[in-house]
Amino acid sequence: MESDFVCACEKWMRSVCASLPFYGEHKGKRYCVLHLPGTPKSLDFSKAFKTKLTAKDFNFRGVWFPDELSFDKYEFLDNVDFSGAFFNSRVFFTEAIFLGANFNGATFAMQAYFSRSIFKAEASFDHATFQGPAYFSVARFAAIRFREVRFLASLDFSHTTSLGAATFTSVTLELWATFQSATFNDRVDFAGVNFKEADFRWTTFQSSVRFIRSCFNGDTDFNGSQFIKEVDFDRVTFGGNVNFQSALFGARVTFAGQEQRPMFTKLSVLDLQFATFEKADRVSFHTLRLHPHWFINVDPRTFELTNVDWYKSGKAKAELELLKSRNVASSHRLLAIASRRLAANAEDNDRYREASHFRRMALDAERLEAWRGFNLRRLNWWYWIASGYGERPFQALLVLLGILLLFGMLYTKSGFARWEPRVASEADAVVGKRDDFGTPLPLKRALTYSGGVMTLQKPEPKPATTTAQTLVIAETILGPVQAALLALAVRRKFMR
């Protein structure tokens, strides 16, 4: 009998259609008009739907909406339940007012418009699927729950306000998502979210925010965002560029990666320029691979840099090329400043080898600014050649040995060994002639002689010619200076 009809919908949905008769079959199952999948029911569905609205019955669990639905500027006077509902066409909730809203498990097959809507109690969209674009711009929420939601198209959350907690855990975003100029007054949780491209420009987070284990597959923009309290990027991955220009961080900031899963790819760019860190000593970078040029126009001297691996391309020339590709002006000077600040950070935390690397990079950046680094008129070029700016003992030793060998070879071509005539009488003195040219030193003697000059020993014989005298004077100056540079480099490496 027809009175014995029970809709084939889920048991938790049957309170919606307890009094409705059998309407049609789908895949061998019998449904009421509200739950029957398919579009031919449009007219009959509209009648049943309007009956519920007239009765202020907002229980629409599992209802299959065949046509475009409009609740523009509609005020729901009681909690509304669209859990498990299927919206086959566009849905308009623009400027609607909700007391409480449950869209858990709902499916939106086309565009969903919630722009400028107001949710006076918590709005829940857990496990919902948005197959078309979703628009929540300028909406106002008491609290939000978007757990394990799938956005197969774009998401617009711009200029939205959430007064309470906002949860977006394990959300999947197949296309771009914008939260531009949104305001979150309570804690926000983006843990485990899979972003394609994300726009958080000028977004304000008044309370703590978590992005733990989230994945940003494309470019991410936090330009001008404000993080008033803690922000956690623990085990996050960035597949594209990350922009924090002019962002404000008011409390602790954590960037923590994993050895087996780097936070940044080789193509990523982290931009922290002009960001403000009110508690810079609570900014932490842990187990990451970074580029030094990512810290231009920001002061990292008190940042926590733990287990950080700097890219192998982290030479000044390579870093400058990367800055050039970003069209950064005054790149040489900015890299030099950033490198010195990173060196200070490393020095203060007993990472002396790293500090040495950054000091060299700073000087290299300044040297490369003129004549591609080969300006022989500048002292820093000679300092670089002689000892790697006093940071490379082996290089300084090689140059010192080079000076010894060079002058030793030159001494084999200059006059040293004077022949003094033996004078037995005044007649011999008149006849004998002094050797004013001398003879070159043999190679072994020349090398020993070069070592003596370098160590200020004034070895014999004395130089006989102007050329030899000039060579001795030059080595007397260059040798001790190079030895001093070697001592400095050794001290910097071992005497900490």
Residue-level pLDDT, tens digit, the chain, 496 residues: 356 789 999 999 999 998 899 999 999 999 999 999 998 999 999 999 999 999 999 999 999 999 999 999 999 989 999 999 999 999 999 999 999 999 999 999 999 999 999 999 999 999 999 999 999 999 999 999 999 999 999 999 999 999 999 999 999 999 999 999 999 999 999 999 999 999 999 999 999 999 999 999 999 999 999 999 999 999 999 999 999 999 999 999 999 999 888 999 888 999 999 999 999 999 999 999 999 999 999 999 999 999 999 986 558 889 999 999 999 999 999 999 999 999 999 999 989 888 888 988 888 888 888 655 455 556 565 565 566 666 777 777 787 788 788 888 888 888 876 655 555 555 555 544 555 567 888 888 888 888 888 888 888 888 888 888 888 888 888 878 777 777 777 776 655 4
What fold, for 387-422+429-494? Helix Hairpins (1.10.287)
What is the four-CA torsion angle of 422, 425, 429, 435, rounded to 10 degrees? 0
Q: Look at residues 389, 395, 304, 313 and name the one whose alpha carbon lies nearest to residue 346.
A: 304
CA–CA dist 496, 492 (Å, integer): 7
CA–CA dist 177, 175 (Å, integer): 7
CA–CA dist 242, 257 (Å, integer): 15
Task: Check residue 432 and give its pLDDT.
Answer: 47
Provide the whole-model pTM. 0.80
Residues 6+ apart with CB under 8 A from 362: 335, 336, 337, 339, 340, 343
Cβ burial of 243 (10 Å; 0-12, 13-18, 19+) is buried
Task: Check residue 390 and give its pLDDT.
Answer: 60
Assigned token pair, 253: 């900031």
Domain spans, the chain = 36-373, 387-422+429-494
